[in-house]
Amino acid sequence: MDILPKHYDPQALEEQWYAHWESRGFFRAETDSGRTPFCITIPPPNVTGELHMGHAMQHAIHDAVVRWKRMQGYETLCLPGTDHAGIATQMKVEEELGRTEGKNRYDLGRAAFLERVWIWKEKYGGAILSQMRKLGLSYDWRRTRFTLDKEYAEAVLRAFERFAGKGWIYRGTRMINWCPSCGTVISDLETEEGLVQGKLWHIRYPGAEGGPDVVVATTRPETMLGDTGVAVHPADLRWQSAVGKLVRLPLMDRLIPIVPDEYADPEMGSGAVKITPAHDPNDYEVGQRHHLPQIQVIGFDGHMTEAAGAYQGLDRLACRRAVVRSLEEAGLLVKADPHEHAVPHHDKCGTAIEPLLMEQWFMDMKALACEALPFIERGEIGYTPDRFRIYAAEWLRNIRDWAISRQIWWGHRIPAWYCRTCSGPGLIPLGGMEPERALAEGSFRVSVEKGARPVVGIEAPGVCQGCGGAAWVQDPDVLDTWFSSALWPFATLGWPRQTRELSCFYPTDLMITARDILHLWVLRMAMTSLECVGQIPFRRVLVHPTVLTKDGRRMSKSLGTGLNPLDLVRLYGADATRFSLLYQAGAVQDVRFDAEIKDNQVKSSAIAETGRNFGTKLWNAARFVLMNLEDYAPAAPDQHPEELADRWILSRLARVIAQVNACLAEYRFSEAVRALYEFVWHDYCDWYLELAKLRLCDKGGKGQVQQVLVQTLEQVLRLLHPVMPFLTEALWQALPASARPAAQGLMVAPWPEETPQNLAPEAESQMQSLQELVTAVRTLRSEMNIPPGKKTRVVISTQNQQELASLEKQGRYLEVLTRAEPLEMGLELTVPRAAGSKALGQVEVHVVQDTPADAGLERQRLGREIAKFQKLLQSQETKLTNPQFIGNAPPEVVEKERQRRAEYHLGLARLQASLEGLGT
């Protein structure tokens, strides 16, 4: 048993206890322990990442669950790792290369550039995992995985081969999202809509060969250079005679047809809409229906192509300005209206997306979605909150093919091969490279339309069936990062090999993630797991809240509203930071974190300060207990103690254990934390410790109160450990060894068992009455300006003999807690004229000063009390004269309300008598 330092210093505890846990192997999970397994694989953060508040919220929840399950006796594995984050990582390295050497990736070539990326990854890639440790996360770090490590890469290639073998993977030309800055295709789920203050240009297309003039509107005049049609709604009477006729495309002098299509909205402008099949997904569909040509006027570099005529070579935005000027000069620009509209941007680099037709690798997802859908519908993969399960099912029903290839170098290179002889014309060099070097470096684009013929296989094929040659080149593209991430739960456990880890810990139990990647990642894991392993990947998906600034804005470094959780750790400690997050992790999906942030620096946080103050309160309580264990003789506390305070605190503890269990079982972390906060701060510290002080001086009752003090504290520390692990471990280790379960540490100690036998409703009711009396006296003393340390006469009067007997049993507590000297209790006692008074049901409380109280102030105080009782009485009268309440409420409820009305009448009469006693 150690006596704690006087002051609680979070930072002094954290490094010491984290090293203690790791050195004893407490984070490790084994496959042969014989215990029931519980497994979570964390969402792997990007190797480019730094810890932010979303991570902190996610991992505070992860570790709370993991520590709770470990203490419950499960063989608990939380498997960490990082994602190679193809586009984001390559961007970082290319930026560094350009900044430091003035070069791009093509200058280095593929192999040399990838060496640079690996060097960067080794230097910076593990930073976020190191940062996670500062939060006290108890993950099995020896099992840390990376989505490009050798075994994981094997799993990715095997999955591709498997899917291709089933005919689900194919090359095709589709409308894709192209990022001109990153030079790659991205998925719909990797775009963010951003509002742009732009213009809506109205352009006149002159009629030709009998066709009418048509006015169309667009936010992107540069795309008109690729128009191949104008669409009108077939039911729009204004345009029925124009269908099939022609207009002349301005600036390009090209004749294009007017076609009937329901895509056109008769309510919008003229009802006619320009169609650019090569540069808009909707226009592409219209073009397919009417066999319109596809003319690509914007290239993959964001500049205008040869098909743009005189505007060739211009940047797309410069071209926009030039086209508008040309239209004005030609008299074809009707008007330009200010127009706010949403433009999709790449979520990694912020560049406006360019919809382009491009040949890519795609994956048909319909068969996988059909297999996964019943598991979602039946709830075999549950969601918390459940509404996200409904959204998931809807997304699966409407799933689209997935563009899985990316035109970058960092990632899993697609296992497809091309015969250099047979596919030569379809292998197009990039970056101005010579063909031989381009093929050797993998710096080329593939075109099946121009003759490339892919052969899927992890290893290069042998002899070409077409020409008999053996010169093969691998596809230059890499897989979408989300393709490899989709295998995470089972690939990290050893698939495609049948490992002990996969047999023991799969399916995993819980996936904890944010709502923004539920479709991008979570459902893809479900689909690939059912296909590759034949099992669901996890039994439940817990969708955690998104952390916003205190005024509801997105936390972002670029906006100056970013918050590094390690700043909170430095200011308040890891336990307070975890407390502040879990205290708010409830059913609400957006949490406003109250930190004061300026230029991405946190200045203060009231909720984190509350967590630190709570830690200090618990520290001081434990220190008090430890300092009062002289002659402590370990023994089980009396199961039926006579003392009201003992019965009450053990009953409250029993309720808290049950409440915390129920909340954690349903992942209602905020309710669990708040219940523990209220119990520790108010029940244990504010009341029980104060009541215990009197008995600790009594040799006869000292042993029992010591047992209850220690037992309650020890169980509280176990309950609170998943939330505040460092503080609770330090305090638990300081308790007498005989007062703790036999365990090497708190984090591996058993979780508290529920104790319904300790429930004592009568004791809780009596204690509540005692608390109300003490609070009433303290309030009167404050209102009468009696100094806190001064003793004063207190008179408690009642008309009920049974009530008086109960009060007298608690007389010594009342004396100490109210600083009463003397304390008088009796039936209908006469009260001095100038006493401060309060009515509590059948009890009147009076505080008497040595010097007469100011009669005017006392009249004001009594007047406020009378007004309060009159309002309560009026509310009761309204309720009890309401026929609906009388007719519908159970008879016992009506009777209880009548008793309450009688108590209010009695209290009001006593207050009015006290007011009259003051005279005029």
> Which residues on neighbouring strands pair with residue 186, listed in sequence order?
177
Q: The tokens of 453 are what?
A: 């013929």
Rounded mean pLDDT, 101-108: 89
- Whether the predicted pLDDT of 821 surpasses 60: yes
> Which residues on neighbouring strands pair with residue 257, listed in sequence order?
246
Whole-number pLDDT of residue 766: 92
Phi, psi of 783 (to 5 degrees): -65, -30
Whole-number pLDDT of residue 348: 75
Whole-number pLDDT of residue 653: 98
**H helix and E strand count, the chain:** 30, 34
Whole-number pLDDT of residue 556: 65
Provide the 10 A C-beta neighbour count for residue 335: 11
- How much of the chain, in percent, has pLDDT values that exceed 70? 97
Strand 538-543, strand 508-513: pairing? parallel
Nearest to 554 by CA among 608, 603, 514: 514
Q: Dihedral through CA 608, CA 612, CA 614, CA 619, nearest 10?
A: 160
Q: What is the spatial distance between Cα 117 and Cα 104, in angstroms, rounded to a whole number?
A: 13
Q: What is the spatial distance between Cα 514 and Cα 745, in angstroms, rounded to a whole number?
A: 32
H-helix segments, 487-556? 488-491, 500-505, 523-532
Cβ–Cβ under 8 Å, residues 27 and 140: yes
Q: Residue 363: which pLDDT band, with cuts at 50, 70 and 90? A: very high
Q: Residue 193: which pLDDT band, with cuts at 50, 70 and 90? A: confident
Rounded mean pLDDT, 587-603: 78
- How much of the chain, in percent, has pLDDT values that exceed 90? 63
Q: What is the spatial distance between Cα 542 and Cα 586, in angstroms, rounded to a whole number?
A: 11
- Whether the predicted pLDDT of 499 surpasses 60: yes
Quote the pTM value. Answer: 0.85
Backbone CA torsion sign across 301, 305, 308, 311: positive
Rounded mean pLDDT, 383-412: 95
Nearest to 86 by CA among 365, 300, 349, 343: 349
Lowest mean pLDDT of 271-275, 347-351, 366-370, 623-627, name the range: 347-351
- Whether the predicted pLDDT of 719 surpasses 70: yes
550 against 407, higher pLDDT: 407
Per-residue pLDDT tens for 648-665? 999 999 999 999 999 999
Lowest mean pLDDT of 2-11, 29-38, 212-221, name the range: 2-11
Q: What is the spatial distance between Cα 608 and Cα 611, in angstroms, rounded to a whole number?
A: 5
Could you identify the residue written with the tokens 């010097």? 851
- Whether the predicted pLDDT of 413 surpasses 90: yes
Whole-number pLDDT of residue 851: 59
Phi, psi of 225 (to 5 degrees): -60, -20
- Whether the predicted pLDDT of 631 surpasses 90: no
Q: Residue 509: which pLDDT band, with cuts at 50, 70 and 90? A: very high
- Whether the predicted pLDDT of 482 surpasses 90: yes
Q: Residue 127: which pLDDT band, with cuts at 50, 70 and 90? A: confident
- Whether the predicted pLDDT of 434 surpasses 80: yes
Rounded mean pLDDT, 350-367: 91
* Omega before 822 within 30 of 0, i.e. cis: yes
Rounded mean pLDDT, 422-433: 85
Q: What is the spatial distance between Cα 183 and Cα 180, in angstroms, rounded to a whole number?
A: 5
- Whether the predicted pLDDT of 920 surpasses 60: no
Quickly list DSSP for 755-813: -GGG--HHHHHHHHHHHHHHHHHHHHHHHTT--TT--EEEEEEES-HHHHHHHHHTHHH
Whole-number pLDDT of residue 637: 58
Rounded mean pLDDT, 604-624: 95
Cβ–Cβ under 8 Å, residues 653 and 678: no
Three-state DSSP at 177 gives strand
Per-residue pLDDT tens for 831-884? 776 678 888 888 889 998 865 555 677 678 778 878 888 888 888 888 888 888
DSSP letter, residue 309 = G
Q: Find how far residue 645's CA is from the centre of its chain.
A: 41
Whole-number pLDDT of residue 919: 60
**Average pLDDT in the chain:** 90
Cβ–Cβ under 8 Å, residues 403 and 360: yes
- Whether the predicted pLDDT of 228 surpasses 90: yes
Per-residue pLDDT tens for 23-64? 999 999 999 999 999 999 999 999 987 888 889 999 999 999
Rounded mean pLDDT, 477-493: 97
Three-state DSSP at 582 gives helix
Q: What is the spatial distance between Cα 611 and Cα 44, in angstroms, rounded to a whole number?
A: 28
Q: What is the spatial distance between Cα 346 and Cα 369, in angstroms, rounded to a whole number?
A: 26
